[in-house]
Amino acid sequence: MSDDRPSRRTRPRAPLPLVRAPLTQRGQARPPQRVRVTNPRMGSTTRPPARSPAREIDELTGLGEVYMRSLLRAQLRQAITSLTVLVLVLGVLPLVFAWRPELTAVSVAMIPLPWLLIGILAYPAMVALALWQERAADRAERQFRDIVEQNPSP
């Protein structure tokens, strides 16, 4: 079966013209000039400059909110821990005296033990707990400040 269609051979391409180097005054060819090819994006930055955490917090960005939320979460955790200790210590004492009534008959220096523990010694314990809470909150703030000051603003 013969096909009358022309064959799909590719035509031979014409040779590319030769570029000759320009001649100097004496008739000698000058060496070609070097051309430097660069990426047009080389000079541009691919990301914005780094911003300090303090600036993020001041401008109320999403990252600044994350920083503040972490500080508040750490302080809340400490406050809940302090409150739990206070409730356990002061809340359990009346239950212990109700469960073991013979402890109410015990006296120390003519002061009944329940009065001594709940009425007198509870206040120094609360002051100690408040001091512990304050130091823990200060420590959290100091760590937060160290993180913020670690990357000073540009």
If you average pLDDT over residues 128-132, what whole number do you get? 93
| Distance separating alpha carbons of residues 136 and 133, to the nearest angstrom | 5
User: 2 CB contacts (<8 Å, ≥6 apart)?
Assistant: none
What are the tens digits of pLDDT across the range 114-126?
A: 788 888 888 888 8
If you average pLDDT over residues 138-145, what whole number do you get? 88
What are the tens digits of pLDDT across the range 9-68?
A: 666 676 666 656 566 666 666 777 787 777 766 665 566 666 666 666 666 777 777 778
User: Which tops the pLDDT comparison, 107 or 18?
Assistant: 107
Task: Grade residue 153 by pLDDT with cuts at 50, 70 and 90.
Answer: very low
What are the tens digits of pLDDT across the range 73-101?
A: 988 999 999 999 888 888 888 888 888 88
Q: Are 97 and 115 in contact (CB under 8 A)?
A: no
| Global pTM value | 0.52
| Distance separating alpha carbons of residues 77 and 109, to the nearest angstrom | 39
